[in-house]
Amino acid sequence: MSWRFTSRGTAILKKLSPRIAEETREDWRDLGYYYTVDDQRREWRLTGSRDGLMRFARAVAAYANEPSRAGISEHEHLGPHSYLTLCTSDSRDIDGRAFYGRLDDFSVLGDIVREQLATARPGTEVRIREQYAPGATFSLVLDVRDDSFDPASLDPQL
């Protein structure tokens, strides 16, 4: 992300150049959902249609099925700004930096997301923490929108 600062040191998000903005728009659409991390609410919020959010479940499952990711600290960044991270660890956790677990734990997370989305309707939010990592300091919130939702519409840099 590109930042500039006011004379008081307050960060202001800079708009992207037209070319980079269009690439970022397409990246959000390819990802299928928009994400943010909120340190005050202690949550990762993924916003998209059910089909778009299912792409997160598929990405988690793909990570779980990649033997080269089995080593502790192996990781993968998702999305245009690359701050949503899956990281191999010896225990399940969700914090402001990443989702953690062993490969079989990521399979479980993918299953939880799929199960929750199976009955979720547009306009609902699904909160996941207890089901995956009861001691986690952050939750995963799936904000389900209708099928026409464009994830790029939420990026303040566009």
The pLDDT tens digits for 85-137 are 999 999 999 999 999 999 999 999 999 999 999 999 999 999 999 999 999 99
Inside any domain, residue 7: no
Q: Which domain holds residue 140?
A: 32-152
pTM: 0.89
pLDDT-derived band at 14 (thresholds 50, 70, 90) equals confident
Inside any domain, residue 86: yes
User: Exposed, middle or buried, 29 (CB in 10 Å: 0-12/13-18/19+)?
Assistant: middle
Inside any domain, residue 22: no
Give the C-alpha separation, 52 to 134, whole Å.
Answer: 26
Inside any domain, residue 144: yes
Inside any domain, residue 43: yes
Determine the pLDDT at residue 18. Answer: 85
Q: What is the DSSP string of 30-68?
A: HH-SEEEEETTTTEEEEEEEHHHHHHHHHHHHHHHT-GG
Inside any domain, residue 146: yes
In the three-class reduction of DSSP (H, G, I as helix; E, B as strand; rest coil), residue 26 is classed as: helix
Residues of the chain with pLDDT > 70, as a percent, come to 92
Give the C-alpha separation, 158 to 155, whole Å.
Answer: 6
What domain count does the chain have? 1
CATH for 137? 3.30.1360
